[in-house]
Structure 1
């Protein structure tokens, strides 16, 4: 979670410290002054931009904010809200503090923001549902901003912590607010309703997402609908029958309902949809009005989201002509910051879908957190459009915000921002009137991280395409949010003090270098890699956590010492080699990890060699045993449970023997992802999480709790009509049994799409339909049977995704998802989404 600026210039404070004490009924630990509160933060890594920020030490699954209080102090924060169960050693070092102690910091944050929200009287639209709520919120913000100064949640800040931070953005100049709220368990929406206090409500739809926290779908609707308990009007689509019935049952006697339908003439608004060649025509008919709109969107989800917006706005008196003009400017919103590889060893942060100060702050913090290994940081921004703040004030705010960050070069694009060039004081500042001017006089980029962010009307994606590393059309997309959610799930299964070693060998199972950085930020304790080169790569990427190397060799010990890597010792011979190296180089101390053989018979020290091992270690005082571990052979399979229990028994016996004779207490770890889930009693001091962090390769009983993080996709290169009886591909293995339409896609076995998928054994997804391969898989291409499907060059092709399981794809050729992921070639472009 990142900081959101509550106030950017010299506006009124949110409150004063004494107000906070009264609101939360907390206990003052120490108070230097009744200071104003000008900004909220829960993350010590992010910059504060006002004089009197307040730090809430949030206790979550992945983080404990109390661990970062001293770091926050060093960055200038002097006001803290902490939980009563944590010691405050900071008091021994610092005195100029305001510290308030509460029972739960999240509840205190919410109480504070309920108080703050109550100071404002303005129209507030509260949005909830299963899918589309963030898109509807963003689009509604775009529509409303053409008429009102509007505030909304940055990105998808719709949680128990995100909503209060979003509410803190409210300022006296705002005329309208749009806040979304999301919940994953029962008995939580009522708190968000108090925070948002919506005057109007909008229910998008209902679906299976996050259903495990509810008894059934009816309870899920009831819980979400609590957001509307005090709304004067509720908007929804009547075609969702359960939503219709539940809202009427809950609020039928006290609330005005405005509903719409594609089919039901009894709805308040009947919507007639007509798909044209490149657009969709929407006729929205009410009892006294009839309006027609054109949009470039044609997919069902976007049409539903747009209709939600149009019905709400029409009902609230917006001019249809202005809505049509805004509608034609509406663009698809990726809703996520994307990391891309750039030319000349650059990294690009693509955030080109929206541009206002709150979301810019998020992107700037993201840039600094992600890329500490880059010495140069460049920001490319367009004009800020649809803002009711006067330009002089707006761009002064922007310049002050950027000045808080170590920006090496600033590039402004647009006629308005160019007028205020003198406000920007970076080492380098360059301004262009248009994107075309930029493209004609493109600056040179090398070894830097580049944030590209701007209003949709500027189409800054053209800049991203111009500076990103050129690859063919195949892309591996990795969702960092999914990995965070999976880590949270596994952490919830652990005892309080159990540590996590994240196994990131084989380029993080094919997902590459950004994953370890994200895992380090989210609190794992150790990394495990296969070879020393992988450990060096992580160190060069800024990883500071301990790293265990599973396959060390004598010639790699030098590098391991230089880069502070820790070898796994799996034999007496390897220990002898390490001992000789230590003597030769006069190494003062090195951590090692003892691998015990308990039945895998791969690498490991056997029970019969333990006494010799102990004798050697007693003679080597410079060697510190950081951990003792082993590996279960069949943890994922119930049929091997008896063997797993024997392994665990043997491991406990040997580990205790080593501890007793060496008088040490190293970490002990035995279980991997599936082992943790099936044998939680063997967590010991640490567990090793690997491919399960990516939401695949796990026991099917818990798959519904995880989020597959990787999507492999490509595009159609060419479409051909082939007559019956023709052969397709090398060795004429594919034979058409009818007149056939084939599509050639730019992915082959050199990219990781195995030859075993050829001749119909594999399939891909195009327009939500499975299309089998035809003929053999080539090195760089594959042919797909798309007969009966309307396709064209450039259409998207899904190899696997969250909806189309890589585990199922692997089963078709008798392998596992591990193999498919690790075989994805490095020439396949990686894109990382927050």
Structure 2
């Protein structure tokens, strides 16, 4: 435990004002929306995309009383009960505190870096060591400058090992991570394409990553990547590979993959043993070999390691949001359980606004003791929850201590037997547990069963893309996000909840029904409805939706409706047709528009906007500027007549990337939010948000001359293996993808369709690859290439994915 006074001494600040120097700090906070235990929180006013000093007031109002700031003239007199510590750089102070905590830990720290596989290796190592060691690990993929600092805060001598990830995307980042982590043992997983854009070359990326191991005594890595020349001379390399090389510690003599399993023949210190692993892909084989090599380097015998590997379970490392029975939302985070990841999961639970009732199902954690009991109580005691369901003997005492309604079960089986009695209905349920309690069984029982083809939506990637575009905007420019067409196929309130949590300024939907659904699921942001008609006026007003007004017919009808309801100053958005020639008032209609608006009190113009026809096409930039000029002229005319301010906006996704001069008062972010980069702007690092997956139902071998599918379009010209997969045109997989046009991916290998696309399924030629029934299939390996192959655009492919395809949301 650290007091604010002791933290001040660690940081050696420029100035310190302590109202209560003995205040005990339990939580490090950088986001005022994520304050859980205000009394023990220390708020760091980080300057990133947004300046944390702007949110000190929010944190103070939530009960936070200790702050790290850097602005010399910050008005601390407005916060008379607060402790303030002034530092030169808040980021540096956070990392300095994390480094101090690390220095108090005298047991081995394992640091992991690499392009891919860091989190998998960390989780598997934790599983493998858990039999006789207590392991502290950084939660989920908390491997950034911020994530590592937060991860180290809870490190204590209660643990035998600490395993910390380190991820970088740019030069000069790893030195900061090394200062905090100071790993005794290093693991370098691999070197690949991840974040390649931030480095001049592959060698430059390797040289940056190995800085993590500056003070390590041993580094484990696959020999094929050739990291040895880049490591400091004093480091001992522990390597594995499949070539007869004297420098190898572990030699892979043979490998065989079959039926989603592998058998590896390993040679180590004169012993040769077979190890069976429940995975067949190359990446999993390599990750497990890293784990095996790590345990061997720690002194475990090959026989002991092989026995432990046999108990490994597949990892589902992502927090998932699923549709549940009885109109519930299920948040499944049942693969691990520690204080840091529990806090992350609770933050995600509180983002969900679709249900008033929020329930936590929590199993006991590994290595429960008095100190962990106290920390867990403090974390849960501040949570606003409908009920808490505790599982495991070590949590029995909490039942009496917590203020919220609490149910207790000694084991998961007893909880499952009580499901009917618990009567889950219309609530958001977070299921958080250690692997030994198998709470995933509960999740499966509560989740809705549906079509096995799924669209996986990564909400963390969506938040990342939002921040990428937000970073381009000057202070004061508002952000409207498009969630029309089921959020480009990605969902409804699930996406809107995240956008609301990240404080976008406006949402836009295509139809009033979409806006009504968002309001019914707790979305309170302003919502603009595109092109409404008279039949939805009542819904607009009842659910506080703001209409786009695009012609005199709709304007006059809406004014008349509001007059009958005795409503004044209702917000509207005027659509101007500046050249798209789809909807909107033409420039020569502005005078008549002014005359109507000037004579009524029923409506108030919230914004005047237009839609760019070709903002992504450099050859059309002159026309784009013409549209901007026309909107400015119309806006000026309206402003002079109306006498009150309103917003102007015209910049869509492409314009945000290509035309910063036309941001005006607000921009509208659409397809870019969902990870589709149509403009390839330098420095804009978008992540794909949606992945459409299906599975192989059956594989059969057909002889030359046989045909596949309707109308016998698929003709077998060689003896072939044909796989039937569970997706068809009723799911949104366009019929034009038939007969070899469509490409899917199985185990990293691309295969083509054969025959016509059926309503509920289609067929793939898998003759040249290893494929088995029930294998996972990636439907669109490259979304833009898939769109081009049938003469359309990525937008159409995304919005065409049928609502019967199950959406699975995850965060991480």
Distance (whole Å) between structure 1 residues aligned to residue 25 and residue 400 of structure 2: 31
Q: What is aligned with 1:75?
A: 62
Q: Is the 8 A contact 1:435 1:460 kept in 2?
A: no
How many residues in Structure 1 have an aligned counterpart in Structure 2? 807
Q: How does 1:156-175 map to 2 (within 5 A)?
A: 156-175=141-160
Q: Deviation digits for residues 51-74 of structure 1, max 9, x if unmatched?
A: 43211122332x443343333223
Q: Deviations over 1:718-773 (max 9, x none)?
A: 22333333333333333333343322222221111112222222232223233222
Instruction: Give the drift of 1:264.
Output: 4.6
User: What is the CA–CA distance in structure 2 between the aligned matches of 1:96 and 1:582, rounded to whole Å?
Assistant: 48
Name whichever of 221-230 and 418-427 sits farther off: 418-427
What is the alpha-carbon distance in structure 2 between the residues aligned to residue 562 and residue 97 of structure 1? 43
8 Å CA contact retained: 2:39, 2:65: no
Contact 2:510–2:529 (Cα < 8 Å) also in 1? yes
Q: CA deviation at 1:622?
A: 4.5
Q: Mean Cα displacement is larger for which, 350-359 or 318-327? A: 318-327
Q: Which SS does the other structure have where 2:169 is aligned?
A: coil
1:597-644 deviation line (CA, Å, top 9, x unaligned): 111000111111111111222223443222221111111222322222
Which shifted more, 186-195 or 396-405?
Answer: 396-405
> CA separation in 1, counterparts of 2:296 and 2:558?
76
Please point out which of 220, 223, 244 is paired with 2:228. Answer: 244
Question: How far 1:506 sits from its partner (Å)?
Answer: 0.6
* Distance across 2 between alignment mates of 1:755 and 1:276: 35
Alignment of 1:301-700 (within 5 A): 301-369=283-351, 371-385=352-366, 387=367, 389-390=368-369, 398=376, 401-413=379-391, 426-431=404-409, 433-435=411-413, 438=416, 443-513=422-492, 514-696=494-676, 698-700=678-680
Distance 1:797 1:704, change over 3 A: farther
Q: Give the conservation status (yes or no) of the 8 Å contact 1:123–1:177.
A: yes
Q: Tell me if the contact between 1:439 and 1:463 (Cα under 8 Å) persists in the aligned partners.
A: no
> Which residue matches 1:41?
29
Name the residue aligned to 1:298. 280
Distance in 2, Cα, partners of 1:266 & 1:742: 45
Name which of structure 1's ranges 341-350 and 481-490 shifts more when overlaid on structure 2.
481-490
Shift of 1:331: 2.0
> Does the 8 A contact of 1:128 with 1:202 survive in 2?
yes
Give SS of 2:32's match: coil
Do 1:432 and 1:438's aligned partners in 2 also have CA atoms closer than 8 Å?
no
In structure 1, C-alpha distance between the alignment counterparts of 2:204 and 2:723, rounded to whole Å: 45
Name the counterpart of 2:804. Answer: 827
Per-residue deviation, 1:474: 0.5
**1:811 aligned to 2:788?**
yes
Specify whether residues 477 and 244 from structure 1 end up closer, same or farther in structure 2 by C-alpha distance, changes over 3 A only.
Answer: same
Alignment pair present for 1:136 and 2:112: no
Aligned-pair distance for 1:423?
A: 6.3
Q: Which moved more, 1:553-562 or 1:424-433?
A: 424-433
Distance 2:344 2:718 in 1: 55
Taking the aligned partners of 1:789 and 1:256, their CA distance within structure 2 comes to 39
Give the secondary structure class of the aligned counterpart of 2:590. Answer: helix
Rounded to whole Å, the distance in 2 between the matches of 1:270 and 1:109 is 40
Q: Aligned partners of 1:95 and 1:421: how far apart in 2?
A: 37
- Residues 204 and 576 of structure 1: CA distance in aligned 2, closer, same or farther (over 3 Å): same
Q: How far does residue 34 in structure 1 lie from its aligned partner after superposition?
A: 4.4
DSSP-derived class of the 2:145 partner = coil
Cα distance in 2 for partners of 1:486, 1:421 equals 41
The 5 Å alignment of 1:672-821 reads: 672-696=652-676, 698-700=678-680, 705-800=685-780, 804-821=781-798
Q: Is the 8 A contact 1:21 1:28 kept in 2?
A: no
Equivalent of 2:186, from 191, 201, 206?
201
Q: 1:17 touches 1:37 (CA, 8 Å); kept in 2?
A: no
2 CA distance for matches of 1:357 and 1:19? 22
Which residue of 205, 218, 223 maps to 2:203?
Answer: 218
Query: Are 1:17 and 2:8 matched, yes or no?
Result: no
Range with greater deviation from structure 2 (544-553 or 257-266): 257-266
How far residue 708 of structure 1 moved from its aligned partner, in angstroms, is: 1.3
Matched, 1:110 2:95: yes
- CA apart distance, 1:399: 5.3
Counterparts of 1:573 and 1:86, CA distance in 2? 55
Contact 2:4 2:66 in 1 (8 A): no
Q: Distance in 2 between matches of 1:85 and 1:796?
A: 56
CA distance in 2, matches of 1:319, 1:346: 48
The 3-state SS of whatever aligns with 1:239 is helix
Local SS of the residue matching 1:122: coil
Cα 1:778/1:70, change in 2 over 3 Å: same
1:92-134 residue CA offsets vs partner (Å, 9 max, x unmatched): 3x42111223343222211222233223322111111111111
Maintained 8 Å contact 1:47/1:404 = no
Match of 1:27 in 2: 15
Is the partner of 1:716 in helix, strand or coil? strand
* Preserved contact between residue 268 and residue 287 of structure 1 (Cα < 8 Å): no
Look up the SS of the partner of 2:42 in the other structure.
strand
State the alpha-carbon separation in 2 of the partners of residues 79 and 397 from structure 1: 19
* Distance (Å, rounded) in 1 between the aligned partners of 2:248 and 2:718: 50
Separation of aligned partners in 2, 1:534 and 1:793? 39
1:52 equivalent to 2:40? Answer yes
Task: String of CA shifts for 1:349-397, please: whole Å, max 9, x gaps.
Answer: 111211233322322222122x233232333334534x2x44x775675
Listed as ranges, the matches of 1:141-160 within 5 Å are 141-160=126-145
Contact map agreement 1:14 1:39 (CA 8 A) in 2: no
| C-alpha contact (below 8 Å) 1:697/1:818 kept by paired residues | no
Give the deviation of 1:517 after TM superposition: 1.3
Decide which moves more: 429-438 or 163-172. 429-438
2:242 corresponds to which residue? 262
Q: Which moved more, 1:438-447 or 1:603-612?
A: 438-447
For 1:549 and 1:203, the matched residues in 2 are separated by 50
Return 5+ residue gaps in structure 1 as ranges: 1-12
How do 1:264-279 and structure 2 match up within 5 A? 264-272=244-252, 273-275=254-256, 277=258, 279=261
Matched, 1:228 2:216: no
- 5+ residue gaps, structure 2: none
Q: How far apart in 1 are the matches of 2:464 and 2:179?
A: 26
Name the structure 2 match of 1:183. Answer: 168
Shift of 1:469: 0.8
**In structure 2, C-alpha distance between the alignment counterparts of 1:20 and 1:396, rounded to whole Å:** 25
State whether residues 14 and 116 of structure 1, in contact with CA within 8 Å, keep that contact through their aligned partners in structure 2: no
